[in-house]
Amino acid sequence: MDITNIKIIAEKEIAQAVTLEELETLRIKYLGKKSQLSKVLSGLGKLSQQERPLVGKAANECKIIIQSLLEEKVSAFKINSAESGVDITLPGIRKELGKEHIISTVLKDISDVFVKMGFCVVQGPEIETEFNNFTGLNIPLDHPSRESFDTFYIKTEKNRERLLLRSHTSPVQIRVMRENKPPLAVVVPGKVYRPDAVDASHSFMFHQVEGFLVDKNIKFSDLKGMLQKFAVEFFGSQIKMRFRPHFFPFTEPSAEADISCIICQGRGCSVCGRKGWLEILGAGMIHPNVFKHVGYKQGAYSGFAFGMGVERIAMLKYGINDIRLFFENDKRFLKQF
Ligand code: PHE
């Protein structure tokens, strides 16, 4: 076999080799003592004076090329193969793409309905002052929700205002109204905290969307109309809404709003407790004392506010029966949405 052929075949075989063992066999085959190249080199003496330099040069060049091809491939193998403990024949580890958490999606979907009506989105801090969370909202000192079992208080230096983890998003009403004059139309999505024992419907942390609108001559009918519109946009056109009288210290009058049960369409089932209605939010006309606390002139403005629990709404919309599923981070659950 002539030298050019040796080179061509060696190149091909080296390219096809997939293990270090195969490369070692090829090294012996092409560069070892019994290889054809070695035989050519050791037989140079028998050649004529004219042939000797030509054949010698070609054989040496061929040897150098095969040597470097082998070295290159061996070192590439060593970097990413058995030598470094990695088996490159194993299938790769697929990088999974993450996705938005279902609670973030619902939070945005709720806010978006109001953004389309002209509301803007404002976020407040999760650590709040006692004033913004309670006093400014007309929640008196002796109100039961002030007690520590309803609120996580934060150790605060003496003579400093007490801080806490906000127990609702309503303190953002105070923050926004103190800094801005009406007209205001604001939605506030965010986390809230309450020291509740965790069970299928309670969590020490959950999410709320607050909304409020302040201007001249805002009426309860404006509140009803906007929330009704929200219910239809969010749950579908067949949804009915009703308002029941309720009490919140920061609204007067106050109401709770129910939607017709989305499981049984109001006929009565286990989800709605045979009532046909599901409570989804608290609302009312902003109390005059709240306006007083933020420095608005008495009687100058009127407005409404509402607040809803996002987990509860997500559970109703997607038929989820345990709030803990949202926070356990089991991908099999989260992947479904
Ligand atoms: N902040 C109230 C709650 O957490 C909900 C609410 C907001 C009620 C605004 C009325 C007006 O229960």
194 within ligand 1 shell (Cβ under 6 A): no
- State the closest ligand 1 atom to the C-alpha of 304, by its place in the atom list counted from 1: 11
35 within ligand 1 shell (Cβ under 6 A): no
Helix (H, G, I), strand (E, B) or coil at 242: strand
How far is ligand 1, taken at its centre, from the CA of residue 73, in Å?
A: 70
151 within ligand 1 shell (Cβ under 6 A): no
- State the closest ligand 1 atom to the C-alpha of 169, by its place in the atom list counted from 1: 1
Distance CA 283, CA 280 (A): 10
How far is ligand 1, taken at its centre, from the CA of residue 120, in Å?
A: 19
Nearest in space to 58 (alpha carbons), one of 129, 136, 5, 10: 5
307 within ligand 1 shell (Cβ under 6 A): yes
- Ligand 1 atom 9, closest CA: 306
Pairing of strands 184-193, 120-121: parallel
Q: Could you check whether the bond before residue 144 is cis, i.e. omega within 30 degrees of 0?
A: no
Backbone angles phi, psi at 92, to 5 degrees: -70, 170
- Ligand 1 atom 2, closest CA: 307
207 within ligand 1 shell (Cβ under 6 A): no
- State the closest ligand 1 atom to the C-alpha of 192, by its place in the atom list counted from 1: 4
Entry field: residues in the chain: 337
- State the closest ligand 1 atom to the C-alpha of 282, by its place in the atom list counted from 1: 8
User: How confident is the prediction along the chain (337 residues), in pLDDT tens digits per residue?
Assistant: 688 888 899 999 998 988 888 888 999 999 999 988 888 888 888 888 888 888 889 888 999 999 999 998 888 877 765 556 777 788 888 888 889 999 999 999 999 999 999 999 999 999 999 999 999 999 988 888 787 768 999 998 888 999 999 999 999 999 999 999 999 999 999 999 999 999 998 999 999 999 999 999 999 999 999 999 999 999 999 999 999 999 999 999 999 999 999 888 889 988 888 999 999 999 999 999 999 999 999 999 999 999 999 999 999 999 999 999 999 999 999 999 9
The whole-number pLDDT of residue 234 equals 95
How far is ligand 1, taken at its centre, from the CA of residue 133, in Å?
A: 11
The whole-number pLDDT of residue 294 equals 98
What is the value of pTM for the model shown?
0.74
Q: HEC states along 271-329?
A: CCCCCCEEEEEEEEEECHHHHHHCCCCCCCCEEEEEEEEHHHHHHHHHCCCCHHHHCCC
- Ligand 1 atom 4, closest CA: 168
How far is ligand 1, taken at its centre, from the CA of residue 274, in Å?
A: 26
Contact 37, 44 (CB under 8 A): no
- Ligand 1 atom 6, closest CA: 307
Distance CA 67, CA 229 (A): 79
282 within ligand 1 shell (Cβ under 6 A): yes
